[in-house]
């Protein structure tokens, strides 16, 4: 009986190790394939005297292909407040208090946007992000999470401007929904 238990544990342990090793091997092979693709891509760039011009064209093309964010979120809901035990009317009042906060921050963000100060933009969006995510999900809340995350490390002013445009849009949508 005891030997059967020990044998079962041993078989389970060995099979777990085999599964773990198979997963690691697959990850290694995927990483290796990616490295080989990058290496092949680098080899396609010619090494002749005109290569600098070609490389410059390739780099310029990559810059032109940058993607602006496309923010399509579901309507904002105050369901989080309802889950916390507030009534529907109380929940709507809290959301109505968020709207003036947004309207105060928008001109400040717009001013900082002109100076391309990403750190200050991140700080300004962080405060309203906290307020909106505490009240609900979707719409303005999801936008502010995504925007604030980008501003922490992003450096492209065009993307920041796109997020700012969405911020205005979703603020207006929130006003129409709750006022």
pLDDT averaged over 10-residue windows placed end to end, the chain, 179 residues = 82 82 84 77 52 52 68 90 91 93 95 92 94 91 94 92 94 93
Residue 140 contacts residue 179 (beta carbons within 8 Å) = no
Q: Are 133 and 78 in contact (CB under 8 A)?
A: no
Cβ-in-10-Å burial (0-12, 13-18, 19+) of 10 comes to exposed
How big is the chain, counted in residues?
179
Query: What's the pLDDT score for residue 65?
Result: 57
CA distance 146 to 140: 10
pLDDT at residue number 9: 86
Beta carbons within 8 Å of 158's beta carbon, 6+ residues apart: 66, 68
Q: What secondary structure letter does DSSP report for 50?
A: T
Q: Which tokens in the block code for residue 36?
A: 């080989």
| CA distances to 80, 101, 150, 159 from 72, in Å | 20, 22, 16, 15
Say what the pLDDT of residue 163 is.
Answer: 94
- Give Dmax over CA atoms of the chain in angstroms: 78
| pTM of the complete model | 0.63
Burial of 15 from C-beta contacts in 10 A (0-12 / 13-18 / 19+): exposed
- What are residue 78's phi and psi, to 5 degrees? -95, 25
Task: List Cα–Cα distances, 78 to 13, 98, 107, in angstroms.
Answer: 48, 12, 25
DSSP state letter for 45: S
């Amino acid at each position: 009986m005891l030997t059967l238990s020990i044998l079962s544990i041993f078989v389970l342990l060995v099979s777990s190790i085999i599964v773990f090793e198979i997963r690691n091997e697959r990850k290694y092979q995927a990483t290796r394939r990616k490295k080989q693709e990058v290496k092949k891509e680098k080899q396609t760039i010619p090494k002749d005297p005109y290569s600098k011009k070609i490389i410059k064209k390739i780099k310029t093309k990559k810059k032109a292909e940058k993607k602006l964010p496309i923010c399509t979120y579901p309507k904002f809901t105050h369901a989080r407040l309802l889950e916390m035990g507030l009534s529907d009317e109380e929940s709507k009042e809290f959301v109505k208090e968020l709207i003036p906060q947004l309207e105060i921050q928008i001109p400040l963000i717009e001013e900082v946007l002109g100076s391309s100060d990403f750190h200050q933009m991140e700080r300004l969006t962080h405060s309203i992000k906290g307020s909106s995510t505490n009240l609900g999900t979707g719409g303005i809340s999801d936008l502010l999470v995504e925007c604030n995350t980008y501003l922490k490390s992003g450096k492209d002013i065009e993307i920041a401007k796109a997020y700012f445009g969405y911020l205005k849009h979703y603020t207006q949508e929130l006003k129409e929904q709750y006022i």
